[in-house]
Amino acid sequence: QLFFATFYRLFYLSVKSGSRKDQADDKQGQDRNFSFHGFRDRFMVLKIAKFLLFCSKSACMQILIVEDEALLMESMVSYLELEGFRCEKASDYHTAVCVLDKHDYICMLIDLNLPGGDGLELVKLARENQSESGIIIISARNTIEQRVEGLDAGADDYLVKPFHLSELVARVHSVARRTRMKGGEVLSFGVISVHPEEHSCFVDKKQVDLTRKELDMLMFLMANRNRVVTKESIADYLWGEYGGGYGSYDFVYTHLKNLRRKLQDAGCPDYVENIYGIGYKFSLDKSP
């Protein structure tokens, strides 16, 4: 799925960058043999790529995104599609109501400030119609009362804007995990196995005693494997709005250091790479 998604995006960019020049050349009557530089050839390859992407998505997990900010919508769609999700989009209340029953969504991301209606009412409607789907509210409303109201309306999680996309992915994975597996899923990465519902971690079947924050940090890194994540995004995920209130992120370093030590003591390779001035990367092919 990642291959098809990447394949499609590369050729889409290729068409965008080359179509104007190719059309101008075609007007001058220049003949071409078959090559990816021809506009018609680009168009055919793009159609094939779209078809392959559609086929690869047919077995993907469906997500409904209800958001009226176009740039944020596109950013979320791009990020989530590379994670293997298929995204249905709605930019207003009435469109969202129309597509609510279109699929059995594994998760729904719903903004509260929507044109045409109240997002909170949409959350209640979504919970009534799709009782098994996960619901995450994404909103700039950040008071405790507003969060409680959203959760009471039926949401599984509440993410305050602005947020890091890496945090969004981790929360979607968490909600999708609970929705899809009902506690039976095991997360694996290299020699690490995590049982989320049991709050347990194993390295080659040897149990590792982790604190709740260390386990949450590990699952966050696993959900964003092979991506560079910032200290800020880790702090926001683990501590919410209080993550940035300490003046520095030394506490992130301390928790990560303890996590790495415990995993290595159990015989696990160090999968964490320090990216100077930015954050960390969790991958099997860590740079020396």
Per-residue pLDDT reduced to its tens digit, 138-174: 999 988 899 999 999 999 999 999 888 988 998 898 8
Residue 83: band (very low, low, confident or very high) from pLDDT cuts 50, 70, 90: confident
User: Cβ–Cβ contacts within 10 Å for residue 14, how many?
Assistant: 16
Question: Which residues make Cβ contacts (< 8 Å) with residue 31, sequence separation at least 6?
Answer: none
Q: Could you report the per-residue pLDDT of 10-63, keeping only the tens digit for each?
A: 444 444 444 444 444 444 444 444 344 444 454 444 444 444 444 444 345 789
User: What pLDDT does 94 receive?
Assistant: 94
**Where is average pLDDT lowest: 67-76, 166-175, 183-192, 217-226?**
183-192
User: What pLDDT does 184 receive?
Assistant: 58
CA geometry: angle 165, 172, 142, nearest 5 deg: 65
User: What pLDDT does 1 receive?
Assistant: 44
User: What pLDDT does 235 receive?
Assistant: 84
What's the mean pLDDT in 240-249? 56
Average pLDDT of the residues of the chain: 78
